[in-house]
Amino acid sequence: MESQGLPQGTTAHSISLLLGHPDPTTLDTPQFQDAVRRLMSSPQAYHALEYGDEQGNAMLIEYLVGRISREQQMALRLENLMVVAGSTHAVDMIARLYTRPGGAVIVEAPTYADALHIFRDHGVELRSVAVDQDGVMVDELEKLLKHLSAKQNLPRLFYTIPNFHNPTGITTSEQRRFEILRLAQQYDLTIVEDDVYCDLAFDTAVPPSFFTLADGVNVIQIGSFSKTLAPGLRLGWIIASAEVVQRFVHCGTTQMGGGANPLSAQIVAEYCRQGYWDTHLERVRSLYRMRRDTLLAALVRYMPPHVGWTKPLGGFFVWVTLPGEMRGSAVKEQASKRGVMVAAGEGYFVNPGDGKHNLRLTYSFASLSDIETAVRILWINQLERA
C-alpha cells in the first residue's frame, strides 16, 4: 500500500531509482517564493487568475522565444510558440489533431511509456523502430516506411525523444538527425520532437534540434518546465510553424478552456524575468551530473561483466541490459523486497517482450549515498539468482 504523504512510486524507507522526477529539494526555492510574492502583490495578479489568452501568457512566450532562438540558433517569432499544460497536454493534443483511429504512428523502441499510453488512447496503430547508441536505426526506419507505404497506411507522425532519451539516456547524433529528416521529407512525415530534457546537458552541448535542421518544416517541438523547475506547475510549450500553432490555438479544448495555467505561467514568467531560471539550471545540472557519475561508478563497482548500461550525457536515466535469461521484472521484484524501486523494461516497448532483459534506473530523485546502496542491492539480487 502506498504510504500517505509520499510521492507516487515510493514507500517509506525505500530508495527510488524509479521516478523520473526532479529532486524534491530543488522545488520550493527562495527564488520561486520571491516570484510568487512579486506576482501576487502586483497589478498582474488579477489577470493571472482569469482565463488566459489561448496561445498562452504573452510575457512567457516572449521570454521563451528569445531564449530558445539564441540557444537553438533559430529565428523564432512569437507566433511559433504556444504555452501548454506540460508535455502530456502537448502529446495528447498532437495525437488528437494529427491522427485518426487505425492510423499509424512510429515511435522508438524503447520510448516513453506514458506517450505510448496516450497514443493508444487515440486508437492508433503503433509501429516501433529500434535504437542504438546514436538514436533510431535509420535503415530499419526506412524499411518500415516502405512497408507502410506499400500498405497505403503511411504514418502521420514520428515521435522521438532526441536528447537524453527516456528511458535509455542516449542522444540522437547530428548525422542521424539529418538522415531521419531526409526520410520525413520523402514520406511527408511530421516529426514530434519531445525535447523536455535538453536543458539538462552535463558534458557537451546537444546537437542542433530537428526543428532547427528542418527550418521548422514538418517538425513540432515540445518543451517543459517539469524536469527543470517543478512538475506541479503543469507548464510547457510547443514550437511549430505559425499555421500549426494556430491549429492548436483554435482547437475545441483551447477555445473552451483558454490558455494553459495562466497563474503558473505568470509566476514562471516573473521567475524567468528575474534571471532565476538560469541560476537554477546551473545548480540542477551540477547536482544531476554528480548523481549520474555516482550511479555509473556504482555500476562499474558492483555489476558483473555481462551487464551493460548506457552512459548518458545529460537528463535523468541509465538503461541497463541484463545477460542471459535474467529478466528485468524479476530483478525489480526482488529489489523491491529490499526497498529499492526500479522500472522493468517491458513497459517502454510497443511489444513488451522486447524489454524483458532491461531496467531503467533514474538518478535524479535519490541521494548520492542512496544511489550507491541501491546499486549494491541490485548486485546482491543477481548473486542470489546466479
Please say if the pLDDT value at position 375 is more than 70.
Answer: yes
Do 269 and 301 have their domain in common? Answer: no
User: CATH number of the domain that 21 lies in?
Assistant: 3.90.1150.10
Determine the average pLDDT of the residues in 373-382: 83
> What's residue 11's pLDDT?
59
Please give the pLDDT value at position 324.
83
77 vs 67, 171, 192, 238, 242, CA distance in Å?
A: 12, 27, 19, 13, 9
Q: 217: closest CA among 239, 240, 237, 247? A: 240
Q: Is residue 2 part of a domain?
A: no
pLDDT tens sequence across 125-156: 999 999 999 999 999 999 999 999 998 888 99
Q: At what angle do helices 113-121 and 86-98 cross, to 10 degrees?
A: 40
Confidence of residue 341 (pLDDT cuts 50, 70, 90): very high
Q: What is the CATH number of the domain that holds 165?
A: 3.40.640.10
Q: What is the pTM (predicted TM-score) of this model?
A: 0.94
CA angle 178, 184, 186 (to 5 degrees): 105
pLDDT tier, 2 (very low <50, low <70, confident <90, very high otherwise): very low
Domain end call among 250, 274, 298 = 274
Please indicate, yes or no, whether residues 168 and 257 belong to a single structural domain of this protein. Answer: yes
Tell whether 110 and 159 lie within a shared domain: yes
Per the domain annotation, does 9 fall within a domain?
no
Query: 56 and 138: one domain?
Result: yes
Beta bridge partners of 131: 136
Element holding 104 (H helix, E strand): strand 104-109
Q: Is the peptide bond before 167 cis (omega within 30 degrees of 0)?
A: yes
- Assess whether 243 and 373 both reside in one domain: no
**With bands split at pLDDT 50, 70 and 90, how would you rate the model's confidence at 381?**
low
The answer to whether residues 369 and 340 belong to one domain is: yes
The answer on 287 and 222 residing in a single domain is: no
Per the structure, how many domains does the chain have?
A: 2
User: Do 99 and 117 belong together in one domain?
Assistant: yes
Predicted confidence (pLDDT) per residue in 232-248, tens digit: 999 999 999 999 999 99
> Each residue of 20-70: pLDDT tens digit?
999 999 998 999 999 999 999 998 888 888 898 999 999 999 999 999 999
Q: Are residues 83 and 218 in the same domain?
A: yes
Name the percent of the chain lying above pLDDT 90: 85
Same domain assignment for residues 263 and 354: no
**Structural domain that includes position 205:** 33-274
